[in-house]
Amino acid sequence: MSDQSEGWNLPKSWNRRVLKDWEIDRLLTDLEARTRKRYRQNTRKDLLLGLLCGYGIKKISKDLHKDNGVVRAGLSNIYRDIETLTEEPNYSVKSSNLVYVLERYGYRRGCVASVANYRRIPSNLPAPTYTQFVGREEEMETLLQRLSLNHAAHMITVHGIGGVGKTALVLEAARLCLKASCENLADASKFEAIIFTSAKQQELVPNRIFQRQQGQRNLRGIFREIANTLDDVTIIQSPPSEQFDRVRRSLSRQRSLLIVDNMETIDDRDEVIDFLYNLPVCVKVVITTRERMALLPISLQNLPLNDGLQLIQQQAKEKSITLNEQDSKDLYARTGGIPLAIVYALGQVSSGYSLTSVLTQLALATGDVASFCFEQSVQGIIEQPPHQLLMSLAIFPDFPLQAAVAEVAGLTAAPDCVNLGLGRLQELSLITHNQKTGRYEMLSLTREYALAQLAADPNFEKEARERWVKWYLDFAHTYAGEDWEKLIYYNKLEEEHGNLRAVLYWCKDQGYYEQVRDLWLLLNHYANLYADWDERLDWLQWLIEESKRRYEWSSFVKIAIRKSWLLIRECSEQSLKEAEEILQETWVLRHHADLCVQADLAESIVRLQIRYKNYENARHWLNIEEELVHEAHLDQYKHIRYFIPVLYHRAEIFYKEGQYAEAKALFQQAMQSAEQIKWHRVINSAQNWLADIAIREGDRFAAQQLLIQGLAVAQSHKNKRRLARYQRSRAYWEKKWGSPEETQKFAIKAIDSFEHLGMTLDAEEMQFLLNCS
C-alpha cells in the first residue's frame, strides 16, 4: 500500500470532485478490512488528503488535461478542498505550490504508509543534548500521567533549583509524546501540536556562563513562538489587543502541548499565568520554574546515587574520560547529584582541567555552577530573614528542626518571620521540608553555596555560631545525662548525632574548652553505651590535657574516670596499665570532687581490680565506695543509684569465684533496686548475668527465657555492649543445648561486636569458643 494507484480500484471520476460521505465510508471500510484496524471519524480529512497525494499528482494532471474546461474546474475544486482540509488561506493553493503545501503537511507522492503519518505534527522542540536520558523514572511517570487525556490537569509545574534537570525532564516527556503522535504509539499522550517556549536568560557551558540573546521573556514572545510553530502569521499581524483571542483560536483547533520554561524569569508573569489559565481544555500546559507554584507541582531533587553515577559514566564515556569508581563517587558527592553540575564538571575535565581542581572549583560560591544554580534565586532575599535562615541552615551538617534554625538565625522572637522565611526558601527550591521527620533539608551543593555566603558575613556568622552552640548545650541538658535518668530521650540524641559532633569539633577548633567540656560530660554516657563514636578516647585525652593546663582539677577527675572506664573495657595489657596510671593520679586529686564523683572513682578502681582478678583488692575498694555513698547523705533515688554498683560488682565477684547462689541473690537484689528508679540498663545487664548463672547450673529453660527477653531489650535500647554480651551468652547456651550452626552464628556476631567496641579480651574469648565448636 505504499502507492495509492496500486491496490485501490478508484473510479476516475474521483479525481475531479470532492468525495461524497458514502464514498469515503466505503473507502474506510475497505481500509479497515485491509489493515484490521478501526479508524475514527476524524480520519476522513487525513484520508482524503492522503488520497489526493497518494493517487499521484501526475496522474491527476494527466486525466484532467483531457479537457481544458474540465482541467480548470477540476483543479480549482481540488485546490479549494486542499485549502479547507489543511486550513491554508483561501485561494492560496495553486499549481505552483501544490506539491509544496502537500509535502509541508507530511505527504509524499505515491506514499501512503499509514493514516497516522498523513499529517505532520507541528513542533519546535530543540534537539536533545544527550544520547540517553538518565533517571527520573518516577517523575517521568507522573508527568506522562498528567499529560494524558484521562487526567484532569490543565497546568502542570515542574520545580527545583537551577541545574536540577527540570527542562531536560519536560523536553524528554515532550519528545516521547511527539514520537507517540507521529507513529501512533500508545507509550505516551498524543498531541497535534507541541510548542516549546523558554525565558531562560543564561546557559552554563564548560568554560563560562553565556547570556542568551533569544528567548520568550514576555507574553508577546510566547505568542510569537506559538505563531511560528503553528505557522499562523495572523497572530503576529493582528493588533496586540486581538492576539490573545487569535492564539486561543489557533491552539483550540488541535490538541496542543505548550511548554513554558523558566517561568521565574518572565517579565510579565501575572499576564502570562492569566493567559495560561484561560486556554481551552484541549491545551496542556507544562511550566518549569525555580519557584514552587501550586499547580500540580512535580518537585525535582538531586539524582539518587545510582542514577547520578550512571549519568557520570555516560558523560565520561561521551567525552572519552576515564574515571574510576572512587572518582565517580567523589564527583557525585561534590556535585550533590545535580545533573548540570555533573555535566559541567566533566566538560571542564574534558577541556584539560584536573578532576581535583574541578572538584575544588565546584565548592566556590563565586564559581560558575554556584552562580548559575543559586545567584539569581538568592539575590532577591539578601539581608532579609529568608537569607538569614538559609545561612543558618547551612551551619547544620545534618538536617535540623525548625526550632534549631530559628534560634541560630536569631529569629526565635519572630515566629511569623521564621514561617514566612522558610516558606520563601521552599518556594525558591533552596530547601525542602520533610513532612515525615519535620526537618528542613538542603542539597549539598546548596549548602556549600550558603556556607560561602555565611563566610562573607563574619559578624552574622559569629553570632549565629554562638547561638548554635548554646542551642545544643541546652538540648543536651534536656535530653542527655545518665541512662537511669534519660534513657527514654536517647533517641532524640541519636537524631542529632551529626550536629552534636559538629558542634564539638567547631568548639575544639575555636579553643572553646568550657563548651566542649560541658557538652561532652553530658554526652559521655550516651556516646559510650549507645552511639558509635570511635574517637571517644581522643576527646577525653584532649579534655584531660586542657583541664590540667587550666588547673581545673574537679573537671579533670570527672574526665579521667570516664577515660579509665573505656580503657578497662578494652582490657588489653596496655590499656589496663594506662587505666591504672590514670586512676592512681586521679585518686590523689579526688578531694577536688564531691563524694558522688569520688564513689564513681572508687568504682572504676573496683572494675580494674576485677579485670586483674584481684578479687580481695576489689572487695576492699567496694567497701570504700560504699562508705563514700553513705557519707554523701543522698536522697532516696540518688542513694539507690550509687549503691546499685556496690551490689552489682559484689555479685560479679561471686560469679567469677564460682559462688553462683550468692551471685544470683545479689544480682536479683540489684535488679529490684534498679526497678525502683527505672534504671533499665542495669536490669538488662543483671538479667544477662542471671542467664549465665542458669547456664552454669544447667537450668536450660530458665536460661533460655532470660536470654530471649534480655536480648530483645538490648536490641530495642541499641546498647551495643550489652547486645554483644547477650550474643556471647546465647553462643554458650547453643554450645550446651543447641546446634553447632547456631553456636557459630552467635559467636561470630559477638566477635564482630566486641571487636567493633574495642573489647579485645572478650573477642578472644569468643574466638576460643568458636575454635572449640
pLDDT tens readout for residues 416-442: 999 999 988 887 878 888 888 889 988
Whether 14 has a pLDDT exceeding 50, the answer reads no
Residue 656: predicted pLDDT? 94
Q: How many CB atoms lie within 10 A of CB 741?
A: 9
Residue that wins the pLDDT comparison between 15 and 712: 712
Q: Which residues contact 228 (CB under 8 A, 6 or more apart)?
A: 124
Whether 543 has a pLDDT exceeding 90, the answer reads yes
Residue 762: predicted pLDDT? 85
Whether 385 has a pLDDT exceeding 50, the answer reads yes
Nearest partner of 409 among 506, 498, 420, judged by Cα? 420
User: In the predicted model, what is the mean pLDDT of residues 642-662?
Assistant: 96
Residue 696: predicted pLDDT? 94
Helix (H, G, I), strand (E, B) or coil at 202: strand
Distance CA 559, CA 553 (A): 10
The pTM score is: 0.66
Whether 412 has a pLDDT exceeding 60, the answer reads yes
Distance CA 635, CA 653 (A): 28
Q: What is the pLDDT of residues 58-108, one digit of tens each?
A: 344 444 344 445 445 555 666 676 666 666 677 777 655 665 566 555 544
> Hunting for cell 587505666 — which residue is that?
579
* pLDDT > 90 in the chain, percent: 34
Q: What is the pLDDT of residues 27-37, one digit of tens each?
A: 555 555 544 44
| CATH code, residues 137-299 | 3.40.50.300
Residue 672: predicted pLDDT? 96
C-alpha separations of 111 from 33, 44, 347, 620 in Å: 20, 17, 45, 107
Residue that wins the pLDDT comparison between 85 and 409: 409
Q: What is the pLDDT of residues 95-147, one digit of tens each?
A: 556 655 665 555 444 444 343 343 478 888 877 777 778 888 888 888 888 88
DSSP secondary structure string, 115-146? GGGSS---B-PPPPSSSS--S-HHHHHHHHHH
Label the pairing between strands 208-211 and 202-205: antiparallel
Question: CA triplet 690, 695, 696: central angle to 5 degrees?
Answer: 95
Q: For the chain, give the mean pLDDT.
A: 80
Distance CA 280, CA 248 (A): 7
User: In the predicted model, what is the mean pLDDT of residues 371-387?
Assistant: 79
Distance CA 143, CA 146 (A): 5
Residue that wins the pLDDT comparison between 364 and 229: 229
Residue 668: predicted pLDDT? 96
User: In the predicted model, what is the mean pLDDT of residues 619-638?
Assistant: 95
Q: Cell digits for 295?
A: 499547580
Among the ranges given (8-17, 522-531, 570-579, 608-617), the one the predictor scored with the smallest mean pLDDT: 8-17
Residue 370: predicted pLDDT? 67
Residue 76: predicted pLDDT? 65
User: In the predicted model, what is the mean pLDDT of residues 217-238?
Assistant: 79
Residue 61: predicted pLDDT? 41
C-alpha torsion sign, points 432, 434, 438, 444:
negative
- Residue 198 has phi, psi (to 5 degrees) of -140, 135
Contact 188, 180 (CB under 8 A): yes
Contact 143, 176 (CB under 8 A): no
Tell me the pLDDT band of 587, cut-offs 50, 70 and 90: very high
Q: What is the pLDDT of residues 143-166, one digit of tens each?
A: 888 888 888 788 888 888 777 888
Among the ranges given (43-57, 322-336, 663-677), the one the predictor scored with the smallest mean pLDDT: 43-57
| CATH code, residues 305-371 | 1.10.8
Among the ranges given (97-101, 203-207, 471-475), the one the predictor scored with the smallest mean pLDDT: 203-207
> Hunting for cell 561486636 — which residue is that?
753
Residue 34: predicted pLDDT? 47
**Beta-bridge partners for 159:** 289, 299
Tell me the pLDDT band of 531, cut-offs 50, 70 and 90: low
Distance CA 434, CA 537 (A): 35
User: In the predicted model, what is the mean pLDDT of residues 42-65?
Assistant: 44
Which residue pairs from 177-181 have beta carbons closer than 8 angstroms and sit at least 24 positions apart in sequence?
177/144, 177/147, 177/257, 178/121, 178/123, 178/125, 181/121
Residue 685: predicted pLDDT? 94
| CATH code, residues 380-456 | 1.10.10.10
**Beta-bridge partners for 202:** 211
Distance CA 563, CA 541 (A): 8
Nearest partner of 122 among 188, 203, 177, 172, judged by Cα? 177
Residue 274: predicted pLDDT? 83
Residue 43: predicted pLDDT? 47
Question: 120-129, 134-143, 220-229, 722-731 — which one is most confidently predicted on average?
Answer: 722-731
